[in-house]
A = this chain, B = another copy of it.
Amino acid sequence: MQNNDLEILRHSASHILAAAVKKLYPETKLGIGPAIENGFYYDFDMSEQLVPEDFGKIEAEMKKIAKSNQKFETFTRSKAEAIRYLEEQNEQYKVELVNDLPDDEVTFYQNGDFVDLCRGPHLRYSTKLKHFKLLSIAGAYWRGDEKKPMLQRIYGTAFTTKEDLVAHLAFLEEARKRDHRVIGKHLDLFSINDEAGSGLVLWHPKGAHIRHLLETFWKDEHFKAGYELLYTPHLGKAQLWDTSGHLGFYNENMYSAMQVDSQDYFIRPMNCPFHILIYKSTLYSFRDLPLRWAELGTVYRYEKSGVLHGLMRARGFTQDDAHIVCTAMQMEGEIKRVLEFCLDMLRKFGFSEYKIFLSTRPSQKFVGEKERWVQAEQALENSIKAFGLDYEVDEGGGAFYGPKIDVKIKDAIGREWQCSTIQFDFNLPERFDMIYIGNDGEKHRPFMIHRALLGSIERFFGILIEHYNGAFPVWLAPEQVRVLTVTDKQNEYARIICDKLVSSGVRAKLKLQSAKLGYKIREAQLDKIPYMIVLGEKEVENGSIAVRARDNKILDLTSLAELIEIIAKKSRHKE
């Protein structure tokens, strides 16, 4: 987030929000109130439970403050004075913040009667705030700590022009309609059931069929790209996670242990250690490298229940994982292959705008030889450049175990999602003592690259649902054709047509309920079926069909063979 005009406007809006809330609910104690991406929030501790219906009243008060043209003024106090003042005001959270500040001087900002501990900067006058809106309310633990009190967080946004605000609200409304949890329920794609467990996804038949198509496509492409598949277990002995180091550096994200034969076992948070055990079961020579081993590996990671979010953030998910084991010589070629493969695959889903981030060695905490980091970073950067791609360098932003490339994609309504990642790992080859025999007959340490193209199947599916707004392309649609009749007289013909489609490999369904045609068409549209075949007297007479698209437009297409061919072609070409 850059410190630009919009951020200043939103930060001031958060102060004005707090001033309004204090005016309406004087007993309120203040938490923090920053500008964030696309808006701002403020955290409040108050006895009343606010609801969105209160926003009108608060917004009106904010407008009043904004219009009264208050000047934002700053002043400093010594830490002791600041604490005394905040204690008088009964602002215990602010006192805690001041106590934690390293400096002796503390900065405040004031507009009208409202004084807030703040570094600024702010607007000069409150009249500048004209186009804003409160959006939502949520519980938020003080300092993100579950053991501390839960405050009420009000989110809002503000823009410099009315047009921008209107456009953003329209975008939010569009995103709300596309919410994969809502569409997933409506289209019966998946569920997350508290009886089964939080953050665990149950794939219903239609969603599972899409997953099956995705995975089949993914595997086919991987075989073509020279990968081999692996299948490995979902749990492993403590000893394994100890060797890998996960029990040390990743413990917080791991589920607690199970005891088997008085040994601890852990459900896996990552697939890598198992792939490495397979690698170590054979002594490989330089002639055998590179190895490209892929697995659709389901992993389980503990996430706080507050951050779980449908398919986007679940506790169990399937990584489209692969490990490439290669020599220094092969490294750059392999990265190029992966990057090209990755972008090709994303393009198939209509993601053609990317942002690429190169994260390099952290200055302090890292493992592995500097020399290897340099080589690996060079290979990553050369690969990005070879395809003429724009990228940003996140200096020192790599994991402690290696540098990486992250790819963010832009979806149909312009939102960015980080899915793909290509990471070097200098840690595990060392810990597991992975070696290969070089052409000098000596043992060498290979380079190991982790990579995931879609990231997780669950999350990618969530993104696809929102990206396509539930209207999956023909190759992915669980129901490609719905056969409808004008009256019951066409039922027999409809059955013949539907059977022909099914036996030709088309995913077709028949809906014969005695409802009005308009109702049945509307239902097929809500179910986002790519094609409807509508059969009336004329079609039975001519032995023809009438086909409509998802938007109910009649298509110039009267033969069944032609429709079957179109669907087969789209399925082949992933359209």
Contacts and interface: CB of A to CB of B under 8 A. Distances in A.
In the A-B complex, the 4 residue pairs with the closest CB atoms: A205-B228, A203-B231, A200-B233, A208-B229
Contacts of A255: 235, 258, 260, 265
Interface in A294-330: 298, 300, 302, 305, 315-316
A267 B193 contact: no
B277 A239 contact: no
A197 B302 contact: no
Contacts of A195: 237, 239-240, 243, 277
B204 A237 contact: no
A229 B202 contact: no
Contacts of A243: 195
A8 to B, nearest CB: 40
B208 A231 contact: yes
Contacts of A237: 194-197
A191 interface: yes
B235 A200 contact: yes
Most chain-B Cβ atoms within 10 A of its Cβ — which of A194, A265, A315?
A265
A315 B234 CA distance: 11
A89 interface: no
Interface of A: 188, 191, 193-198, 200-205, 208-209, 211-212, 216, 219, 228-237, 239-240, 243, 255-261, 265, 267, 273-274, 277-278, 281-282, 293, 298, 300, 302, 305, 315-316
Contacts of A196: 232-233, 236-237, 240, 273-274, 277
26 contacts: A188-B282, A191-B278, A195-B239, A195-B240, A196-B232, A196-B274, A197-B233, A197-B235, A197-B237, A198-B261, A202-B230, A202-B278, A202-B281, A203-B229, A203-B230, A204-B230, A204-B281, A205-B230, A208-B230, A212-B219, A234-B234, A234-B316, A235-B267, A255-B260, A256-B258, A257-B258
Given A228-B205, A277-B202, A316-B234, A260 B197 contact: yes
Copy count, this protein chain: 2
Contacts of A232: 196, 202-203
Given A188-B281, A200-B233, A208-B230, 19 more contacts: A188-B282, A191-B278, A193-B281, A195-B239, A195-B243, A195-B277, A196-B236, A196-B277, A197-B265, A198-B261, A201-B231, A202-B274, A205-B228, A205-B230, A212-B219, A212-B229, A216-B216, A234-B300, A234-B316
Nearest to A282: B188
B261 A259 contact: no
Main secondary structure of the interface of A (DSSP, over half): mixed
Given A197-B260, A240-B196, A233 B302 contact: no
A373 to B, nearest CB: 29
Contacts of A211: 229, 231
A267 B258 contact: yes
A256 B196 CA distance: 17
A234 B198 contact: no
A498 to B, nearest CB: 13
Contact of A228 (B208, B216, B258): B208
A562 to B, nearest CB: 24
Contacts of A194: 237
A200 B258 contact: no
Of the listed residues A191, A232, A258, the one surrounded by the most CB atoms of chain B closer than 10 A to its CB is A258
A261 B305 contact: yes
Contacts of A236: 196-197, 200
Contacts of A205: 228-230, 293
Contacts of A239: 195
A221 to B, nearest CB: 14
A235 B236 CA distance: 15
Nearest to A305: B261
A230 B203 CA distance: 6
Contacts of A188: 281-282
A265 B197 CA distance: 8
Contacts of A256: 258-260
A166 to B, nearest CB: 38
Nearest to A192: B233
Contacts of A278: 191, 202, 204
Contacts of A258: 255-258, 267
A574 to B, nearest CB: 18
A305 to B, nearest CB: 6
